Chain A
Amino acid sequence: DAGITQSPRHKVTETGTPVTLRCHQTENHRYMYWYRQDPGHGLRLIHYSYGVKDTDKGEVSDGYSVSRSKTEDFLLTLESATSSQTSVYFCAISELSSGNTIYFGEGSWLTVV
C-alpha cells in the first residue's frame, strides 16, 4: 500500500469556523490532489499540486484554499465552513515515474452543522 494518510478522518464543525484537512505522503510523489465526493456527482477536483508551492484550482475550488510547503504534505483549508461543504474528502497522489498510478487516502468525513 502506498504511504498516504489523511487527518482528521472524521470531523464535525460549526458553520463559519475554519477547518484544515491534512494529506501526508511518504512516497515522494510530485502530484497531490484534493477531491470531494458527493452523491450524484462522483469525485470532483478541488485543488491540485504539481510540486512544492505549485498549486492550481480544480472545478470546485470556491471556498477552499491549499498549501504545499513540503513535498510530503498538502493541506486543504476551508476558511469559513458552510453546510454545502459537508462531504467526504479524498486526497490522492500520482507520479509520472510510477506510470501515473493513482493512490488514494482513506477519506475524511466532514460534517458542517
Chain B
Amino acid sequence: KNEVEQSPQNLTAQEGEFITINCSYSVGISALHWLQQHPGGGIVSLFMLSSGKKKHGRLIATINIQEKHSSLHITASHPRDSAVYICAVMNRDDKIIFGKGTRLHILP
C-alpha cells in the first residue's frame, strides 16, 4: 500500500464546477504539500500545510492531522486549472513522499 494515496486519479469537469481532490497518508508527517504540474512543465508548490486551512485565490487546502487526510478544493474551475495535482508529505526523517497525482481536465 502506498504511503500517500490520492483520489480520484483522473477527473474531468465542466468550467465553473467546484473541484475536490483528496489525499490520505499513513505515516507521521511534519508537513503536507500540494503541488501543480502542467503538461510538459515544471512542478510548482501551491500550499504547505501543517494544520488547518489555507486559501490562495480560488484554491483552498485543508488538512486533518488526526484523520491523516487533506483536501484541495478549486472554486469556479477554469480550463487553465487543467494540470496534474500532486500531494506530498514530509515524514519525520525529512524525506518527501509523493502521491501519484490527480490528472484534472476542465472543459470549457
Interface residues of A (CB under 8 A from B): 31, 33, 35, 40-45, 48, 50, 58, 90, 92, 94, 99-107
> What's the dominant secondary structure at chain B's contact region?
strand
User: Cβ of B26 < 8 Å from any Cβ of A?
Assistant: no
Give the complex CA separation of A17 and B77 in angstroms: 46
Instruction: Give 14 CB contacts A-B under 8 Å.
Output: A31-B94, A41-B100, A42-B86, A43-B98, A45-B95, A45-B96, A50-B94, A90-B43, A94-B90, A99-B31, A99-B48, A100-B33, A102-B96, A106-B42
Contacts of B35 in A (CB 8 A): 102, 104
Say whether chain A's binding surface is mostly helix, strand, loop, or mixed.
strand
Q: Give how many B residues have a beta carbon under 8 Å from the other chain's beta carbons.
A: 21
A42 to chain B, nearest CB (A): 4
Given contacts A41-B100, A42-B99, A42-B100, contact A102 B86 (CB under 8 A): no
Q: Which chain A positions have C-beta within 8 A of B99?
A: 42
Q: Are B45 and A103 in contact (CB under 8 A)?
A: yes
> What residues on A are CB-neighbors of B100 within 8 Å?
40-42
Q: Pick the contact of A94 from B44, B96, B101 — CB < 8 Å?
A: B96
Asked if B75 lies at the interface with its beta carbon under 8 angstroms from chain A, I say no
